[in-house]
A and B are shown apart, each in its own frame.
Chain A
Amino acid sequence: DAKTTQPNSMESNEEEPVHLPCNHSTISGTDYIHWYRQLPSQGPEYVIHGLTSNVNNRMASLAIAEDRKSSTLILHRATLRDAAVYYCILGYGGSQGNLIFGKGTKLSVKP
Chain B
Amino acid sequence: NAGVTQTPKFRVLKTGQSMTLLCAQDMNHEYMYWYRQDPGMGLRLIHYSVGEGTTAKGEVPDGYNVSRLKKQNFLLGLESAAPSQTSVYFCASCTNPNEQFFGPGTRLTVL
Q: Does B33 belong to the interface (CB within 8 Å)?
A: yes
Interface stretch (choices A9-17, A18-26, A67-75, A92-100): A92-100
Q: Does B31 belong to the interface (CB within 8 Å)?
A: yes
Residues of A within 8 A of B103 (CB): 43
Interface stretch (choices B14-22, B39-47, B63-71, B72-80): B39-47
Q: Are A99 and B100 touching (Cβ within 8 A)? A: yes
Q: Are A44 and B98 touching (Cβ within 8 A)? A: no
Q: Does B56 belong to the interface (CB within 8 Å)?
A: yes
Q: Give bound CA distance, A42 to B42, whole Å.
A: 13
Q: Does A76 belong to the interface (CB within 8 Å)?
A: no
Q: Are B99 and A87 touching (Cβ within 8 A)? A: no
Q: Are B50 and A98 touching (Cβ within 8 A)? A: no
Residues of A within 8 A of B100 (CB): 36, 44, 46, 97, 99
Residues of A within 8 A of B48 (CB): 96-98
Q: Give bound CA distance, A95 to B90, whole Å.
A: 20
Footprint of B on A, CB under 8 Å?
32, 34, 36, 42-46, 49, 87, 91, 93, 95-104
Can you list 19 A-B contacts with CB-CB less than 8 angstroms, sorted by A residue number? Answer: A42-B104, A43-B102, A43-B105, A44-B100, A46-B100, A49-B98, A49-B99, A87-B42, A91-B97, A93-B98, A96-B50, A97-B33, A97-B100, A99-B43, A100-B59, A101-B42, A101-B44, A103-B41, A103-B42
Q: A34-B98, A97-B98 are in contact. List 4 more A-B contacts (CB 8 A).
A: A44-B102, A46-B99, A99-B100, A101-B35
